[in-house]
Amino acid sequence: MTSAEAPNGTGIARLRLLWKLFRDERQNPEPFYRALAAESAIDLNQRYGLAQTNVLDIGCGPGWYAEALRQHGATVVGIDGSVEALTRADPPITGLSIGDATRLAFPDASFDGVFCSNMLEHVNDPEAVINEMARVLKPGGWGYLSWTNWYSPHGGHHMNPYQYLGTRWGPRLYEKRHGPPPDNRFGKELFAVHIGPTLRFMRNHPQISVHRVEPRYWPWARPITAIPLVREVLTWNCLVRFTRQDI
C-alpha cells in the first residue's frame, strides 16, 4: 500500500495495517493520516457523492484529507488554527488557511458537506465548533465529526495512560513525573471531550439530525456506542454522521 491508498475492507487485515501505521504516527504521521484520508474520502463519496460539491475541512492540518476529497471531485476549503500544521506537507497543499473553528468566517448554508477529523479534543469549546458546523451547512448537507474521546486508550495523547486518573490528577501526575509533553498539553492544546455529553448536545440541537454513531476504526462494533461508560473507554475514536435539518 502506498501512503495515499485506503486500507482494504473492514476486517482484521485493515486493523493490522492501521495499527502498524498508528504505532509510527508520532514519528511519521503522514502514512497513517493519508490512509485514513483515502478511506474517508471513498466512504463519503459512496454515501453522498462528492463530485461538484463544496466541502469545508475543519482542523485540516497539512491538508491530507482535503487532497483526498478533491480526488473525488469535491471543491474543498480547509482551515486550521496552526500555521505549523498547515505547512507540514512538502510541498504545501493549496486551498488551506488559518481559521477559528469556533467562529467560522463563512456565511450560513455555505457548504454541501463539513468534515472535521480528530480536532474536537483540541478546542476548549467543542459545542461552539458543532454549532458552527451546523450553521455553515446547507439544509440537507452532511456532517462528519470524529474525535478521540478522553477515556479512550489514546485520549491523553502523549500523556497516556494518565488520562484515566481524570482531568485534575492525571495531567498533574504526568507532568510531575515526565515534565510537560512536547505538544497537546492538557488545558492548552488538549481538552477532555466525552461521548455522552457530546451526543446529548447534538441530538438536542435544532439544526442537527444524527444518523449514525460508531467507533471510527471498527464500525462493526457500533453497538458499544449506545452503552454509557463502556463507550467512553472502548470506542477509541468516536464518529458521528449527521445532516443539517431545517428549523
- 176-226 pLDDT, tens digit each: 999 999 999 999 999 999 999 999 999 999 999 999 999 998 899 999 999
CATH of segment(s) 12-149+193-244: 3.40.50.150
Residue 239 scores a pLDDT above 80? yes
Q: What is the pLDDT of residues 148-179, one digit of tens each?
A: 999 999 999 999 999 999 999 999 999 999 99
In the predicted structure, residue 1 carries a pLDDT above the cut 80: no
pLDDT in tens, 7-41: 655 566 776 766 675 666 666 677 777 888 998 99
The answer to whether the beta carbons of residues 115 and 69 sit under 8 Å apart is yes
pLDDT at position 18 is 66
Helices 12-23 and 29-48 pack at an angle, to 10 degrees, of 140
| Arithmetic mean of pLDDT, 57-73 | 96
Domain residue extents for the chain: 12-149+193-244, 152-190
Q: What pLDDT is recorded for position 2? A: 38
Residue 91 pLDDT grade (very low, low, confident, very high; cuts 50, 70, 90):
confident
Higher-confidence residue of 85 and 199: namely 199
At 56 the three-state DSSP class reads strand
Question: How far is 75 from 46, CA to CA, in rounded Å?
Answer: 17
Q: Are 70 and 58 in contact (CB under 8 A)?
A: no
